[in-house]
Amino acid sequence: MSWTKEAFEEAVRKVGARAATDLAFRSLCVSDIHAAIQQESGIEVPASFTIGVLDQSANQLNIILPPIARDADELLESELESVAGGSKSGANDFFSGIGTGALAMFGEDTGYRPNSAEGNAGTIVGAILTFPAALSQ
């Protein structure tokens, strides 16, 4: 089994629920969250994927800092590439998204899950373009 957004959310829910009632498991979460997640979900988290754990107590407040801000006028390299004509992978994601969005309007699941802004935009465009045809069915 591989990680999907749904599998990850389910694993986090299970780990949190068990850690709320099982002190030994809670200690495992703090000392080795990868082992705790694998124990609850059966899926191994890659060692290269960093997961932070905060053991919340009644007298503690945790603040999660946002990513470092950059100048609003400054574009990232990937954003500059998109503005300057895009990329082959961006175009592929966009057009795959169009097909997925169009088929979804007719109840079909292609299995494609966009993981980029281009893919998400294509899915929306595909759904919008086929919406009138889907209504008439």
Q: How many C-beta neighbours within 10 Å does residue 14 have? A: 15
Residue 116 lies in a domain: yes
* 39 in the same domain as 81: no
Q: Which domain holds residue 88?
A: 77-135
Q: Are residues 45 and 84 in the same domain?
A: no
Give how many domains the chain has, as a whole number. 2
In a domain, 131, yes or no: yes
Residue 42 lies in a domain: yes
pLDDT per residue over 24-71, tens digit each?
A: 999 999 999 999 999 998 888 888 888 888 887 767 777 778 877 766
CA-based torsion, 110, 112, 113, 117: positive or negative: negative
Q: Are residues 85 and 46 in the same domain?
A: no
3-state helix, strand, coil in the chain (%, to 5): 55, 0, 45
pLDDT digits (tens, 9 = 90+) for 70-83: 666 666 766 666 65
Domain assignment of residue 9, yes or no: yes
pTM over 0.85: no
